[in-house]
Amino acid sequence: MAHQKFILDNKIRLIVNELPHTRSVTTSIYISTGARYEPDRVSGISHFIEHMLFKGTAKRPTANDIAVAIEGIGGFYNASTGQEMTNYWVKVAYQHFDTGLDVLTDMLCAPLFDRGEIEKERRVIVQEIRETFDTPDDLAFFNLDELMWLPHPLGRDVAGSEQTVNGISREDMLHYLAQHYHAENMVVSVAGYVDAQEVLAKISDKFSAVETAPPDPFRRFESAQNAARWRVHHKKTEQAHVAVATWAYPRNHPDRYAVSLLNAILGDGMSSRLFQEIREKRGLAYSVSSFGSALDDCGYFGSYAAVDPKSAPETLEAMLYEWGRLAAEPVPEHELVKAKELIKGGIQLSMEDTHSIAGWFGRQEAYRQEILTVDQVTERYDRVTTEDIQRVARDIFRNDWLNLSVVGPFKSASKFVKRLGF
């Protein structure tokens, strides 16, 4: 799969994948901004702006006009906001590429930011924030983020808080849009049944008015943690929600492939160690998994389970035991091979979809990474050895880096604290 890269006159980067065997086209636009770029006073503004771009444009004044324009041709569209990236995309049948592109560029380049719509969406987002506090598993991860990152912006919810969202004005949004939605922060990735030169001409025309500005800085993070931390949130629930995390590596770290394999071995799928030990052997939990995230300058790795409250301390102990076992004992070669095939298979299967292909290449370019093909990435997974897995496990599974978040009917943290060790 050979991509083509173009740089427009105003410095927008364009990635095109010609896929003549498909009959769809996905256009995905990445803006290098997100929650960690925001001043404290307007925390949540990236997410708020993402919502508002769906609420009306000069050409399509209402949210319904935008929805009908895409759904009326059988297409799909959506967006997402993260800590470092905001993404807008549309997927349509190839013959409707022009319409899909017109809607997407209209949203990005000519949003109305109608004051009445802003107030309606403000109420919607406040309800979204409140829903987190009513959803125990979401609350467990919300508390974990605060525990690990605050007072750094990474510790704030991407949606902001009720206080900050209620304080964001239309003028704040327009200022933030001008500051961050500029050409050098923007990547357009198109994949499907298209001709690259035709796409280049159309993208150049649609985005010609987007101004150029230098890439935006953000406040960098460096952990100073030197002792285990915990937060046990008392809430009357039928299940306890247990999330424990440690620090890992940033996005471009050479051991990132080993961490992904560590995640697959521990908690990805029904053959993973956590699933087999905690669910199948002990019958402690229905839901158990591991997770991780890598940002530009930092990363973390963890495990999560939803269990009967009486079993929560034992479940935490079992999770940490499996962490410690990976650090103490080499992973058998057959188990590492299984994890590699699981990850590689997932990547390869996802490449049958134009949306995934546009994302694969667009994200790498937006993060200013070297763009690697699927074959190059799978080859790097194949290089990881059992020694690498054990070395990485010993590096990141440290008692003084533990962060524990529990939500459930507990009045004391003592039963959990005494298990924070390998």
50 is catalytic: yes
Q: Are strands 24-31 and 76-81 parallel, antiparallel or unpaired?
A: unpaired
- What is the model's pLDDT at position 1? 64
How would you class 359 by CB atoms within 10 Å of its CB: exposed for 0-12, middle for 13-18, buried for 19 or more? buried
The pairs formed by 320-325 with CB atoms below 8 angstroms and a separation of 24 or more are: 320/244, 320/402, 320/419, 320/420, 320/421, 320/422, 321/422, 322/266, 322/273, 322/274, 322/277, 323/246, 323/266, 323/393, 323/397, 323/422, 324/397, 324/422, 325/273
Burial (Cβ within 10 Å: 0-12, 13-18, ≥19) of residue 402: buried
24-73: pLDDT as tens digits:
999 999 999 999 999 999 999 999 999 999 999 999 999 999 999 999 99
Of the listed 50, 117, 121, 365, which one is catalytic? 50
Which of 239, 259, 266, 234 has the alpha carbon at shortest distance from 410?
Answer: 234
Residue 120 in this model has a pLDDT that exceeds 70? yes
Contact 172, 45 (CB under 8 A): yes
Q: Which residues contact 150 (CB under 8 A, 6 or more apart)?
A: 156
Q: Which pLDDT band, with edges at 50, 70 and 90, does 269 fall under?
A: confident
| Terminal-residue alpha carbon distance, the chain | 45
Give the CATH architecture of domain 4-206: 2-Layer Sandwich (3.30)
Average pLDDT across the chain, whole number: 96
Residue located via tokens 């993070």: 221
**Which phi and psi (to 5°) does residue 290 adopt?**
-125, 165
The answer on pLDDT for 184 being more than 80 is: yes
What is the reported pLDDT for 272?
Answer: 95
**pLDDT above 70: residue 422:** no
> How is the chain split among helix, strand and coil, in percent rounded to 5?
50, 20, 30
Which tokens sit at 371? 């763009």
The two three-digit tokens of residue 337, written as one number = 């091979």
Nearest CA among 108, 102, 104, 90 for reference residue 192? 90
Using pLDDT thresholds of 50, 70 and 90, give the confidence band for residue 217: confident
152: left (phi over 0), alpha (psi -120 to 50) or beta: beta
The percent of residues in the chain predicted with pLDDT above 70, rounded, is: 100
CATH fold match for the domains 4-206 and 229-417: yes
Residues 283-322 have pLDDT tens digits of 999 899 999 999 999 999 999 999 999 999 999 999 999 9
Identify the CATH assignment for 229-417 out of 3.90.180.10, 1.10.510.10, 3.40.50.620, 3.30.830.10: 3.30.830.10
Per-residue pLDDT, averaged over 132-140, amounts to 96
| 79: nearest Cα among 119, 61, 52 | 52
> What is d(CA 195, CA 20) in angstroms, rounded to the nearest whole number?
9
For residues 109-119, average pLDDT: 97
Please state at what angle helix 256-267 crosses helix 333-350, rounded to 10 degrees. Answer: 100
Assign 155 a pLDDT band (cuts: 50, 70, 90): very high
Domain segments of the chain as ranges: 4-206, 229-417
Question: Per-residue b/e over 246-260, b at no fewer than 16 CB within 10 Å?
Answer: bbbbeeeeebbbbbb
